[in-house]
């Protein structure tokens, strides 16, 4: 199925792989569409592409009001804009820092902490991982595959919904195939719009 409406047909799939350019307005719009497909009260974002403030500003521009709780997981050098500090972020936003995008254990621990907390509180939640492209620059494909298998299982177990970004043009076909096999649905952005395949 093609076009933006295809994203609405992903439905209750827990884990979706989004294939598209790392920096693309249509992909970003699709990301926000996936994050707001339900009545999400809590959103967790693992962001290595944008600083927390850039990510929050993008949400406000495309979506409007922030969710009741928004957690941005990033690295300690993420404040890339001159003069940008954590004080610039609105109250619903919490920032969790990692030493490196290659810290898979740290990512897993932070994501699991919030999934467990929100699941126990019976909150509707969504997760965005931006992006696997960066992770693959820091680790071997087989390590990333094992990490994804673990984290997607935890997301499913917490009744959350998540999508993970990957720029396929930066990887060889075997790597893309390996990563793709971890997910229940694939949303690929092409020149003609979105194509969604459920596994």
Contact 63, 145 (CB under 8 A): no
> Which pLDDT does position 76 carry in this prediction?
76
Calpha distance 189→120 (Å, rounded): 35
Phi-psi map region of 122: left, alpha, beta (phi>0 left; psi -120 to 50 alpha):
left
> Which pLDDT does position 150 carry in this prediction?
96
pTM of the model: 0.92
Query: Can you list the alpha helix ranges (DSSP code H) found in the chain?
Result: 25-35, 52-62, 104-120, 132-138, 141-157, 173-180
Calpha distance 40→177 (Å, rounded): 30
Give the architecture (CATH level 2) of 4-78+87-198: 3-Layer(aba) Sandwich (3.40)
DSSP for residue 76: T
Tokens found for residue 64: 């409007």
Tell me the mean pLDDT per 10 residues along the chain, length 199.
Answer: 66 91 89 88 92 90 93 79 67 90 95 97 95 93 96 96 95 96 93 87
């Amino acid at each position: 199925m093609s076009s933006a409406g295809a994203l609405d047909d992903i439905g209750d799939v827990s884990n979706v792989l989004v294939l598209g350019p790392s920096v693309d307005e249509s992909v970003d719009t699709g990301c926000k569409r996936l994050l707001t497909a339900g009545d999400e009260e809590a959103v967790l974002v693992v962001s290595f592409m944008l600083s927390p403030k850039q990510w929050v500003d993008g949400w406000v521009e495309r979506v409007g009001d922030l969710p009741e709780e928004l957690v941005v997981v990033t690295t300690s050098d993420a404040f890339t804009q001159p003069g940008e500090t954590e004080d610039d972020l609105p109250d619903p936003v919490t920032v969790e820092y990692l030493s490196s995008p290659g810290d898979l254990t740290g990512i897993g621990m932070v994501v699991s902490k919030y999934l467990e907390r929100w699941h126990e509180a019976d909150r509707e939640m969504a997760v965005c991982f931006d992006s696997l492209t960066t992770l693959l620059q820091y680790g071997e494909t087989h390590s990333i595959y094992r990490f994804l298998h673990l984290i997607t299982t935890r997301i499913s177990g917490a009744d959350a919904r998540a999508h993970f970004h990957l720029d396929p043009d930066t990887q060889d076909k075997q790597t893309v195939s390996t990563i793709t096999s971890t997910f229940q649905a694939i949303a690929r952005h092409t020149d003609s719009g979105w194509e969604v395949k459920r596994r």
